Structures are given as C-alpha cells and as structure tokens.
Amino acid sequence: MRIAIPVKGEKVTDLINERFGRSENLLVYDEGNIQVIQNQAVSAASGAGVKTSQLVSKQNIDVVIALHVGPKAFQVLDAADIRAYQGVAGTVAENILAFNEGRLKKLRAENDHSVQIAIPTDGSVVAAHFGRCQKYTVFTVEADKAVEIKEVENPGHEPGYLPKYLAGLGITGIIASGMGSKAQKLFKDHNIEVTLGCQGQIEKIIAGYLNNNLVSGENSCVGETEHHCQK
C-alpha cells in the first residue's frame, strides 16, 4: 500500500505539513520503502490543492494522509479512488502508525476543509508571550485564501487551559513567537500544529502564511518550569 503524506522535510521523522497543496514535498511510504516527491504545485498562483491531488493520482497512491484537504482537491482524490484520511499534528511516522492502528478518520466530501489559525496578539503585532497576550487573531483559510479574520479575547492563562479552549473554537494551527515544551505537547495532543519563532505585524504574518513564505526563527520561550509561555 502506497501512502502519500505532505511533509516538512524528507524523512519519516519530519513533521507532517499542515498544508496539503502548498507542501514542497510529499513523502510516499510503501511497506517500509520511502520516496520523496517534489510538489511543483507549491508555487501555483491558485488551485494548488487540485494540482497536488492530480500529481498524487499519477503516482499509483492508495492513501493520502493530510491535516486538511480542500473540497476540490478531495474530489480529484475521490475520482482517482484514493482514500483520504485526517492526519494528526506530529511526525510522518506517527501518522503512519496511527493509520496502521486504525486511529485515523476517513475524510468524506461533506467534511469541513477549512483551516483556522490563531496568532497571539498585542496591538497589531505578534505577542511576545503566548499565554499572556491581549487577544488572539484568528484567520480562516479556504482554498489558500483568508475568508475571515477575527479577534478572540484571551480567556486567561490557567495552566493547560488554552490548548483545550482554542481546540474547542476549531483552531487547527498556532503561529507564535515562543512557547514552552509542555504547551507544545498539549497542542499536539489536541491536533493543533504549532509554528514558532514568528514576529512582526499580524497582517504580514497572515500574508506570509497564505503565500507559503512565512518567516520563522528560534523559539523565543526558553523557560521550562514556571515560564507563562507554557500555559
């Protein structure tokens, strides 16, 4: 069975890419054999998801595992008799294991394929401290476009509460300057992808995400015991 997964890198130990159509590489796993396919659709002005599905359909793929697949891209996969499964935030290896153990949900045409990303915000810039920000800027992405941008108040930084709270709002990704390792694990447990080391104007961060050239750096949170970024 040939399984294709968008990947941030070229190895099974690399993270699954939260963006199917804009993933530079697709990793194909076939009973222990690994093949990396470069996705030329990543630079497409539009329709990247559909073009990626068309690429996959030419590779004799049986299964696609992805965090999100747009409705048109899903239709291409479905027409090619390729099963699509809802991946989880983590490595490619973890997703393959989850699939083999029957823990992944099969995507269907009626599924909600939108992506909701939250950015901790102070004023008009990315907040330096994830847990103590003024608010969260949440933008919803469909077909590589931001269809809605809104602000959500920070409900407080009680330990362990924010991942559950944001997951309940339908958040699928976090873009932040820094975050403690415990918080990162909690978000992963809630199937929320975390991107760290991002700073600057919120509008530029959103544009960078949509254009697939988001600039990230080192995690600005270095505390591991009592630092509030862990919240």
Give the residue, 6 or 114, on which the prediction is more confident.
6
Domains and CATH numbers, the chain: 2-106 (3.30.420.130), 115-230 (3.30.420.130)
For β-strands 115-122 and 173-175, DSSP reports them as parallel
- In terms of pTM, does the model score above 0.75? no
Q: How many residues does the chain have?
A: 231
What are the angstrom distances between the C-alpha of 116 and each of 100, 121, 155, 209?
Answer: 28, 15, 18, 12
Cα 120 from Cα 84, distance rounded (Å): 32
Give the residue, 164 or 37, on which the prediction is more confident.
37
Q: Report the mean per-residue pLDDT for the chain.
A: 86
pLDDT in the model for residue 168:
82
pLDDT of 219-229, one tens digit each? 655 444 333 33
pLDDT in the model for residue 60:
93
pLDDT at 24 over 50: yes
Cα 129 from Cα 120, distance rounded (Å): 8
Rounded to the nearest 5 percent, the helix, strand and coil shares of the chain are: 25, 30, 45
Cα 115 from Cα 209, distance rounded (Å): 12
- Is the Cβ–Cβ distance between 217 and 148 less than 8 Å? no
- Is the Cβ–Cβ distance between 56 and 44 less than 8 Å? no
pLDDT of 115-160, one tens digit each? 889 999 999 999 988 888 999 999 988 767 888 899 999 988 777 8
Q: Which residue has the tokens 């709002």?
A: 169
pLDDT in the model for residue 8:
93
pLDDT of 188-219, one tens digit each? 888 788 899 999 999 999 999 888 787 766 66
Q: How confident is the model at residue 15 (pLDDT cuts 50, 70, 90)?
A: very high
